[in-house]
Structure 1
């Protein structure tokens, strides 16, 4: 009975989110609560929800302050010199332009937010693509590929955060083994950009841009200067770079919890760049909308996972699912999760997959002796395909910025996204991120 109720709850939850009849935050709280009451847990559900919220609290804090930290760094201009340098280096060579797009988008995507990545990357390079007569779908594809690598694996990115929260795994244990896969994946993205650039180079040739001041108008349209952006703190650029480097080193070292690291990092970044109380208030308010929305989603997910675990629905559903999987395939469970994450996350939102489907898969995998952390890592390897889904809001922003139709973009980008997912799965196997027994 619990298995039937659990599958019904997930089906209704998924339907309501995919049909946009209910927001993810509301659905994550209300749907499991109603099913818990129907199953006779009305007097116990409060403790279940509270326990779930306690479990996700560190992840929520980490995500909140990571968004604020990277927001401050973008405001202060940490990435601006790189943007300007890249634009001057690539000049009129399509190969260099596309590879420069990859380098910039990979770095900007470290903040884990698709909207920020697309806005900065497309704003910086679209005028150059137009001037060169290059296909803007290449720009969009490279930006999305970069986001799929950096956002899906970093513990403050959307997919990784959901996997960490829904399965209750340690962010550092999740992330550190993924670093080689992420770095080699980034090299793969640069290689793809080289291939795409070569294709454009054959079509257009290399267009020389003379080194005269008037010829650099294309750069001034998107390369920020201190006079154009009063929020920039270029005189403190090295301090910001050092602070970010220290933050990443300590994070990889694993001596402090990730949530505490970003809290301290955010405080230092705020003091260094915007010392006055009024400036600090303005910067926090400017990024509060995005940070609050994501953090609220994480706490709502705590209610969902708390009820799912407290009512034992997860165990009942996992048992019924295990009965459908041949024993011969049980040892390949991480690979199965990685491969199936591609179609699953394309046809459903990340919320539906990570909070509805993934806990069941993890519970099923545990019966075969597969560690939950491997299932969490495997679940993010299909994200390149997910980002092509019409369920992803930032994808509409991307195709809108390059003024193309979503269908045209999907046809152009699908093979690159698919190959990237396969490459990530192979890399994860080779580096021991996931395994089979």
Structure 2
């Protein structure tokens, strides 16, 4: 009980501090968990073990961040995405709805491999320049991608379904087949949601002005400083190397999707070739890297620091204690409808616990308690799976959340405030559709 209260308090403090943005996330993820571990009675040696275990789980993704962010930022600098952006601007014109719908479809295709990171790394760099040109908020781009990943992530190789299969000791493909109708409906809902977000942006003034120029945040582009910055960016363009960069990027994505090479290994290889071909000479290569060093270093630092939080949460037993607390507070009268309750609470609980803790910690306990009230394990699993999946991009301590922030150039508080409520509504709609399709009993 004591550990559960400490765990909940730790999560509340961390989430509150991240949203308030009073300090950098790094000290938040390091100091708060260590203090809580000390309060729980653990000594320096034990805490060191927790930290080591947690950071071990996040270091490979941190390395991925460094090379992937610089790679795609570099591809943007050299103009790889300019033809796509210019074509979309020409086709879309002032039709912002077409842009947001296109975003959803691109994200769906990009997520066919089931990897959250690669979906972000493909979709955001390709669409962000267009959003900026049309005076559309980057957080809208991230929100639409989050919705697309949520419904597409129900494929067997996406992760959550596989975890449920392990817990239920069930055939993953059979679980997925039952989810296919929901995915079909979910895609329709996704396109409608993207269109709605486009209408919202249009009402805010996004789009092209009568002169044909993209709407701008202000008229300060005439300043000498910004003109100089633009000239520097123009000097980075490599139009003659467009096909090389395009083929190289396709090759990197191919390595991500069709080989067992670590994600960071694929981007290391791609970045090395991109630097050699696009920027011959040590000075030119150093300059190209330094332009994005801030983002490329900041995000991995945050991720490594979040490993401290995850290590303490798991190693101290706080995660298990919290899961037991959440189950024990359910009133006896509602026991027969536990699957609905946990479905409704799936996204917010999932945001707090994270994917592995949710499926391997909370779900088995929820199934065990549900059995006492006659709730079938598959009913519980389906309800919790459907709702939780919409939280894949709004979990404050998940690697992909910070990757999205880094690529889109937004703060985590902005992502949580904007995306979480909208994705929660989509999760409830999906839950209702799942019940209507008979995926779980009410």
For normalisation by structure 2, the TM-score amounts to 0.62
Residue 262 of structure 2 is aligned to residue 251 of structure 1? no
Structure 1 pair 187–332 and aligned structure 2 pair: CA distance change class (3 A)? closer
RMSD of aligned C-alpha atoms? 5.5
* Distance in 2 (alpha carbons) for counterparts of 1:187 and 1:237: 35
Tell me how far 1:190 sits from its aligned partner. 5.6
On the 8 A contact 2:390/2:424 being kept in 1, the answer is no
Structure 1 191/119 Cα, relative in aligned 2: closer, same or farther at 3 Å? same
Q: What CA distance in whole angstroms lies between the structure 2 residues aligned with 1:152 and 1:79?
A: 23
Q: Contact between 1:145 and 1:189, CA under 8 Å: does it hold in 2?
A: no
How far has the Cα of 1:197 moved from its partner? 7.6
| Alignment partner of 1:34 is 2:35 | yes
Give, in whole Å, the separation in 2 of the partners of 1:295 and 1:3.
29
Displacement of 1:334: 7.6
Within-5 A mapping of 1:16-415:
16-42=17-43, 43-91=45-93, 94=94, 96-100=95-99, 102-103=101-102, 111=120, 120-126=129-135, 139-140=136-137, 144-150=139-145, 229-325=234-330, 327-329=335-337, 331=339, 335-336=343-344, 338-340=346-348, 353=352, 359=357, 363-367=361-365, 368=367, 379=388, 381-382=390-391
In 2: Cα distance, 1:268 partner to 1:183 partner: 40
1:71 Cα deviation (Å)? 0.7
- Structure 1 alignment gaps of length 5 or more: 127-138, 156-163, 202-206, 210-214, 346-352, 399-405
Instruction: Give the distance between the partners of 1:36 and 1:299, measured in 2 at CA.
Output: 18
Moved more, 286-295 or 102-111: 102-111
> Which residue of 2 is the match for residue 129 of structure 1?
none
Larger mean CA deviation between 422-431 and 268-277 belongs to: 422-431
For the residues of structure 2 that align with 1:419 and 1:255, how far apart are their CA atoms? 36
Matched-pair contact (CA < 8 Å) for 1:13–1:31? yes
Aligned counterpart, 2:153: none
When residues 277 and 18 of structure 1 are mapped into structure 2, their CA distance, relative to the original with a 3 A threshold, is same
What CA distance in whole angstroms lies between the structure 1 residues aligned with 2:184 and 2:335? 35
* Cα 1:31–1:258 shift into 2, 3 Å: same
The number of residue pairs the alignment matches comes to 365
Contact 1:57 1:299 in 2 (8 A): yes
Distance 1:416 1:13 in 2: 22
Alpha-carbon offset, residue 23 of structure 1: 3.1
SS at match of 1:381: helix
Q: Distance in 2 between matches of 1:200 and 1:290?
A: 27
Bigger shift: 414-423 or 358-367? 414-423
Residue 302 and residue 381 in structure 1: after superposition, are their counterparts in 2 closer, same or farther (change >3 A)? same
Gaps in structure 2 of 5+ consecutive residues: 111-118, 151-158, 165-171, 203-207, 222-229, 368-376, 397-403
Using the TM superposition, give the Cα deviation of residue 6 of structure 1 relative to its aligned residue in structure 2, in angstroms: 2.1
TM (norm. structure 1) is 0.63
Counterpart Cα distance in 2 of 1:294 and 1:17: 14
Shift in Å at residue 363 of structure 1?
1.7
